[in-house]
Structure 1
Amino acid sequence: MGVCVIWFGGVSLARRLSGMLSAGLHFDHSIIKDPNLILGQIILLIREAMLALLPLISGVVLVALISPVMLGGLVFSGKSLQPKFSKLNPLPGIKRMFSAQTGAELLKAILKTILVGSVTGFFLWHHWPQMMRLLAESPITAMGNAMDLVGLCALLVVLGVIPMVGFDVFFQIFSHLKKLRMSRQDIRDEFKQSEGDPHVKGRIRQMQRAAARRRMMADVPKADVIVNNPTHYSVALQYDENKMSAPKVVAKGAGLVALRIREIGAENNVPTLEAPPLARALYRHAEIGQQIPGQLYAAVAEVLAWIWQLKRWRLAGGQRPVQPTHLPVPEALDFINEKPTHE
C-alpha cells in the first residue's frame, strides 16, 4: 500500500515536502522582531507534514489492520497487558534465543536481507546515471523524479519479497496448526477430565464385581443343588415350585470362584452333582438371578427329582438315591472344547 501511494502520489508528496522545506527555512522581518512567532511556524509546518504524509500513513495502517483479519481475525485481549513477574525471568528468553523457532526466524531474516539488498543494489546500479542527472535539475523536479525512483525501487523490492512472504504465511499457519494439535498426554488428560481416569474407573469396576461376587456367595446357602464340572465350573440352582415358574441360577463361577462356591455349599449342606455337560451349559447360557434356558428344563428336572428323593432319603432312610447320569443336554449348548475363563 505504501508503495502504491509513493508510486501514484510521489510527485505531489515531493512538491508538498519541498514547499514545507522552503517555508521552514524562510524567515521574514516579523519573525525576527517577534521570536514567539517561531512556535506557531513550527506547529504549522508539523500540521502540513502530517497532512502530506497522511495518505502514506493511512495506507500502512490499513494494511496492518487487514493482514491479521485475512489470517484469522482480530483478537483483542487485555491479558497481555497484565503484569507478570515471570516475564522478568531471563531464563525463558535465553531458551527462546536458542530454540528452533528462533533459528528459523533468523534464517528468514537473513534471506530477506539478502534479497532486499540484492534488489536494491541492482536497482541503484542500473539507475545510477539517472540518479546523477537529478543534480542538474531544479529542486522540485529533482524531488519528484527522486520519489518516482524510490517508488519504483520499493515496488521491485515488494515483488521480490512476495514469494518469500507467501511461503512464510503458509509456514506460520502450518506451525500454528501444529501447535494446536494435541499430544498423547493432552489426549489422555482430556479423556480423564471428560470420561474419568481409566485407572479409577477400572478400580470402580473391580470393586463392583467384588461386591456382586459377595452378594452371589451370600445366596449360595439358599441353593437346592450345585452342579459341578469338577475341573472348572460350578453353578448353584434354586427352585421354589410355589414362587417360581422355572429354576434360577443363584451363583456361578469358574476356577477359584467355582471352588469357593463348592466350599460354601459344603459348609451349608447343599447337595452337589457332578454333571460336566450340564454345568458347562448352565455356566454359558444362564445368568445369575435369571431362570435357566428352556432347552435345559428336562436335564434340570431330573436333577431336581434326584434332590427331592435325596431329601426323603435323609428323612426316612432306606436306599440312597442314585445320581442321575446321561442328562439330556443339547449339544448346541455345550462348549466342551472351549477354554474356561478363570475369575
Structure 2
Amino acid sequence: MSEESDQEKTEQPSEKRLREAREKGDVPRSRDLSGALVVLAGVAALMSGGPAAMRHARQIYALGLDYNRDALFSDALPARVLGMALREALALFAPVALATLLATFAAPVLLGGIGFSAQALQPKFERLDPIKGLGKVFALRGLVELAKSLLKLALIGGVLALALRHWQGELLDTGRGAVASGIAQSIALLGRAALTFGAMLALIGGIDALYQKFDHAKRQRMTKQELRDESKESEGNPELKGRIRQVQHAMSRRRMMQELPNADVVVVNPSHFAVALRYDDGKGGAPRVLAKGVDVLAQQIRQVAAGHRIPLVEAPPLARALYATTELGREIPAALYVAVAQVLAYVYQLKQAKAHGDVPPPPPMPEVDPDLLGPYKF
C-alpha cells in the first residue's frame, strides 16, 4: 500500500496517539511564551521589591568602602566581607530567582502540561547528520522559524526605539539632578523599558502558543487507515472476534442442549419460540430457564423435548415473554409467576391423568402483561 500523504490526515488524533506522543516528549511548547513569562516575572519581582533591592545593593557597595585600621590588618577580613556580600547578594536576587523559576514552569503548564519523557533524553545520532540538518534549515518549518525571529526582532526593536524616543527628555534629566534621584529615575526608566519588552514578548508568545497548539494538533492528525489499524490493535481483529463469538455461542448451545432433558416443560409458540423450564421444589426459588430459542433452534428444542417425553405446552404470549425477559440459567421474573404456575399445574395434572388413565385436562391459557413481551409483542 502506498504511503498516505499529510493532506489525507483528516481525522482527529485518538487518545492512544496523543498518549504515545506525550511519552515521546512531543507536546506543544512555546519558547517565546516561556521567555515572556520569565522576563515579566523577573521585572515584576525587581519592581515590587525596589526599596529592598536598593538597600541590599547599597549594603554591598558599602562593604567595599567601610574599613577601619584594625579590620585592614585582620586576617579574617576577606572571609567576613565575602560572607556578608554573599548574604546580601542572595537576599537581593532570591526573589527574582524564585519568580523566574516559577515562571519557567508556568508556560508548560499552560500549554501541554509538565511531563517527563525518557525517550526524549535518548541520544539520536541521526540528528548529527549535516545533510539532514541542512535540509531542515531550508525546510518549511525552518523558514517559518526564521521569519518569526526576524519579525520579533523588528517588532521589539521598533517598539523599544519608539519608547526610548518618547522618554528622551527623562533620560537627559537623569544627569542634571542629585545622584540619588538620578539613579532612582534611571532604574524607573529601565523598569518601564523592561516591562515594555516583556509585554511585547508576551504578545508574541501568546500568538506563538496558539500556533504551536494548532501545529501540534495538525501533526498528530491521523488517516482513516491509521485509525482502522489502531482499532484492530486495541480491540482485536473483527474477524477473529466474530469467530470467538461463534465458538462461544456454539459452546453455550451445546451446554443448553445437555441441560434440556432435565426440563419439566417446554413452553412454545407453535413454531417460532420455545422455552424450557425446570422447577426444583426441593431447592426452593422460582422456576429457571434451561433452554430457549427461536425458529431453527426452537425446532431443535422441540425435537429434543419430544425425544425425552417432555411436555410441550402451547402458550404463545408466555413463550415470547419468557424469551424476552429471562436469560439462560436465570429464574423467571415475579411478574410471570402466576402464568408459569398455571403451566406447571397443568403439567402435573397431565401426568396424573396419564398415570390413572383419566381424561387429560384442558390446556391453560395464561395471561401475560404485553409490556413483558419486549420486541415480540406482535
TM range (shorter): 0.5 to 0.7
Instruction: Give 2:337's aligned amino acid.
Output: G
What is residue 332 of structure 1 aligned with on the other side? 369
What is residue 306 of structure 1 aligned with on the other side? 350
Structure 1 unpaired stretches of 5+: 10-53, 132-144, 314-318
SS for the counterpart of 1:253 is: strand
What is residue 35 of structure 1 aligned with on the other side? none
Q: From the superposition, tell whether residues 278 and 175 of structure 1 become closer, same or farther in structure 2 (CA, over 3 Å).
A: same
TM-score by length of 2: 0.48
- 1:162 aligns with one of 192, 198, 201: 198
Alignment pair present for 1:98 and 2:140: yes
Q: Could you give the per-residue CA deviations for residues 304-335 of structure 1, whole angstroms, max 9, x where no partner exists?
A: 3224535666xxxxx8x65733x242342675
Structure 2 unpaired stretches of 5+: 1-41, 48-52, 55-88, 172-181
Map 1:206-217 onto structure 2 (within 5 A): 208-217=248-257
TM-score by length of 1: 0.52
Instruction: Give 1:111's aligned amino acid.
Output: L
- CA offset at residue 94 of structure 1? 2.9
- CA offset at residue 69 of structure 1? 4.0
Q: Could you give the per-residue CA deviations for residues 219-271 of structure 1, whole angstroms, max 9, x where no partner exists?
A: 12232432210243101133566676765432122334323322332444434
CA distance in 2, matches of 1:112, 1:167: 10
1:246–1:291: 8 Å Cα contact kept in structure 2? yes
- CA offset at residue 301 of structure 1? 0.8
Instruction: Give 1:261's aligned amino acid.
Output: I
1:220–1:251: 8 Å Cα contact kept in structure 2? yes
Aligned residues: 272
CA distance in 1, matches of 2:133, 2:356: 90
Q: Could you give the per-residue CA deviations for residues 251-307 of structure 1, whole angstroms, max 9, x where no partner exists?
A: 122334323322332444434232213323433455533555431212331133224
Instruction: Give 1:329's aligned amino acid.
Output: P
Q: CA RMSD in A?
A: 5.9
Q: Which has the higher contact order (CA 8 A, sep 6+)?
A: 2
- 2:258 aligns with one of 189, 193, 218: 218
1:119–1:157: 8 Å Cα contact kept in structure 2? no
CA distance in 1, matches of 2:285, 2:159: 98
What is residue 65 of structure 2 aligned with on the other side? none
CA distance in 1, matches of 2:116, 2:261: 72
Give the percent of matched residue pairs that are identical in Structure 1 and Structure 2.
Answer: 30
2:349–2:361: 8 Å Cα contact kept in structure 1? no
- CA offset at residue 207 of structure 1? 5.0
What is residue 275 of structure 1 aligned with on the other side? 315
- 1:295 aligns with one of 338, 344, 347: 338
CA distance in 1, matches of 2:211, 2:291: 60
What is residue 46 of structure 1 aligned with on the other side? none
CA distance in 1, matches of 2:373, 2:300: 22
Which entry has the higher C-alpha Rg, 1 or 2?
A: 1
1:223–1:238: 8 Å Cα contact kept in structure 2? yes
- 1:255 aligns with one of 270, 289, 295: 295
CA distance in 2, matches of 1:272, 1:239: 15
Alignment pair present for 1:235 and 2:275: yes
SS for the counterpart of 1:329 is: coil
Alignment pair present for 1:116 and 2:156: yes
Q: Could you give the per-residue CA deviations for residues 186-244 of structure 1, whole angstroms, max 9, x where no partner exists?
A: 9x979x87xx7696888766655543332112112232432210243101133566676
CA distance in 1, matches of 2:138, 2:356: 90
2:271–2:299: 8 Å Cα contact kept in structure 1? no
CA distance in 1, matches of 2:271, 2:244: 31
Map 1:9-20 onto structure 2 (within 5 A): none
CA distance in 2, matches of 1:288, 1:75: 50
1:273–1:323: 8 Å Cα contact kept in structure 2? no
1:238–1:247: 8 Å Cα contact kept in structure 2? yes
